[in-house]
Structure 1
Amino acid sequence: MFFHENELQYPVEVEEPNPAFARMLQQAIGGVEGEIRVFSQYLFQGMNQPPENHEMRMLLYETAMEELGHVEMLATAVAKNLEGAPVGLREEMSQDSAVNAAMHGYLPRQFLSAGMGAMPINSQGEPFTMDHVYASGNPAADMYANVTAEATGRTLATRLWEMTDDPGMKDMLSYLIARDTMHQNQWLAALQALGDPDDAFDHLPVPDSFPQEEENQEFNYEFMSTTREEREDPEQPWTTGDSVDSEAEFSFGRQPGGGEPNLPSPDPRTYNQPTNEE
């Protein structure tokens, strides 16, 4: 059960409306790095947690609801940045202002489909599709996905911060950047809590419940070079020394090779065109 309070999570003010920046903000709402993605991801991850993982469920639910609040903040920012734009369009329509506005960054769908409001789309007008919502059911795998989501979201927010001189928008984005900092740290803390608290990588490899002796021991810690020409071991942290999970040592090698593909002859019922060979 969820409840809504008619109050923004953090103040959203715009001193000088900027329709072009409203379009950029759409990426933070409906882009692959955006808030709809993380809200949905954390929500479904939380719903997938068994009863015994109560605290993990609460961590995910609480953060999902916070991210939903970020969607509301950004939608408010979009509407405020679009304030006044429809009047200008009407007055100059005979001069192809809609085309000119689109060329200068204005997103026509914000007017045509939403009446100068935000939409669940990215900065190109493409709808959010949930394709990048990851909820595997494995807490460690999900926490890594969450760190990535927050890292890319924070990168986007910092870029948006650079794009605006509006004090209100800088203040809002500064808040969102700060929350991304916290969320990256909390997911890493949750990862650490899944294993030995004194070993940040005790949960590796994911899933660590699979018996590692069942995997091919010859290749499970070897970095494979795929260049045609042989090259020497570059002696990097991923080719030599102890593995991150402390289970083995890294090595450097090449693809083992498996011979030419030996596919079966086509089944006549597939009507595949045979190749005539002399």
Structure 2
Amino acid sequence: MFRHTKLLQFEAKPEKPDPVYARKLQELIGGAYGEMTVTMQYLFQGWNCRIEGKYKDLIMDTATEEIGHVEMLATMVARLLEGAPATETAEAAKDPVMAAVLGGMDPQQAIVAGGGALPNNSQGVPWNGGYIVASGNLLADFRANAAAEAQGRLQTARLYNMTDDPGVKAMLQFNLARDTVHQKQWLAAIEELEADGLEGAIAPTALFDEENQDHNNTVWRLSDGSDGSKGGWSFGGEGIEYLTDPQPLGGPGTAPKPDPALFGTYAPIQDAVGTVKGKAKEAKSKATKKR
């Protein structure tokens, strides 16, 4: 059960409207690493969690907080769009909404949302459920969570430097702080999973005896340059060996003969070469006879 408190987790009041910046903030709502992504990611992780107790509570606490972050950002976007204020372009357009659109505002914010936020990124691309990670394995999920919070904080930091509005900056300062603590909590939870004996360093903690034992301890040098071997992983750390000249282990990646009904162009490699050579010889023989 969820309940909505009619108060924002933190204030979202810009000093003045700015429809162009409102479009930029859409990235923090509906982008791949926006608040909608972490909201749904944590909700589904929590719903899929098979362990009642501290881990599930942590996931659901954070998921519910993220819903509030979406609300804060949506409120800020609506307030930044308030009145669709004039920019320099406004003098050329009597309609202030049209002036804002011409000046860089997302047209869909006006046409579709009536001056409000959308579940889209800053380019107007709709949010996609494919962004979320909810595997049921807490180690894999918590690592994905830490990465998502890192990317989200990075984008928030970039947007923080794109505005001088004190009200917007104050809200983003709060968001930066929450992204900081969320990274810390997921990293701490990863350590605790191992301490509790639920997971090890590798996810999942299974099938180690089934995997190919010749290839579970090597890093392949497949990019030009020699700096890769300078990494700590190449000095025997974690039982890893750095291969400076790895060789392919398989044959040609030739696709099999297609279904004739699909009309795909096909000829076995050797036959194709032989056919070409045969036609060349035949043409040469005919030319000789004509002479």
- Normalising by structure 1, we get a TM-score of 0.86
Partner of residue 28, structure 1 = 28
Partner of residue 205, structure 1 = 202
Partner of residue 237, structure 1 = 232
* Structure 2 gaps, min length 5: 276-291
1:21–1:264 CA distance, 2 compared to 1 (3 A): closer
Q: What is the percentage of aligned positions where both structures have the same residue?
A: 42
Structure number with bigger Rg: 2
In 2, are the aligned partners of 1:240 and 1:252 still within 8 Å (CA)? no
Amino acid at match of 1:40: M
Give distance in 2, aligned partners of 1:12 and 1:230.
49
1:136 deviates by 0.8
Q: Secondary structure, in 3 states, of the residue corresponding to 2:220?
A: strand
Kindly indicate whether residue 149 of structure 2 is the aligned counterpart of residue 150 of structure 1.
Answer: yes
In 1, are the aligned partners of 2:17 and 2:81 still within 8 Å (CA)? yes
In 2, are the aligned partners of 1:121 and 1:127 still within 8 Å (CA)? yes
1:70–1:258 CA distance, 2 compared to 1 (3 A): same
1:115–1:262 CA distance, 2 compared to 1 (3 A): closer
Amino acid at match of 1:81: L
In 1, are the aligned partners of 2:24 and 2:122 still within 8 Å (CA)? yes
Root mean square deviation of aligned Cα: 2.7
In 1, are the aligned partners of 2:19 and 2:105 still within 8 Å (CA)? yes
Q: Secondary structure, in 3 states, of the residue corresponding to 1:136?
A: coil
Give distance in 2, aligned partners of 1:140 and 1:17.
43
1:259 deviates by 2.1
Q: Aligned ranges for residues 1-278 of structure 1 at < 5 Å?
A: 1-50=1-50, 52-85=51-84, 93=93, 98=98, 101-102=100-101, 104-196=103-195, 203-208=200-205, 210-227=206-223, 234-243=229-238, 248-253=239-244, 254-261=246-253, 263-268=255-260, 270-275=262-267, 277=272, 278=275
1:157–1:87 CA distance, 2 compared to 1 (3 A): closer
- Normalising by structure 2, we get a TM-score of 0.83
**Aligned residue pair count:** 267
* Cα deviations by residue, 1:105-150 (Å, 9 ceiling, x for unpaired): 2111111111111111111111101121110111111011101110
Per residue, is there more helix in 1 or in 2? 2
1:252 deviates by 2.5
Give distance in 1, aligned partners of 2:181 and 2:12.
20
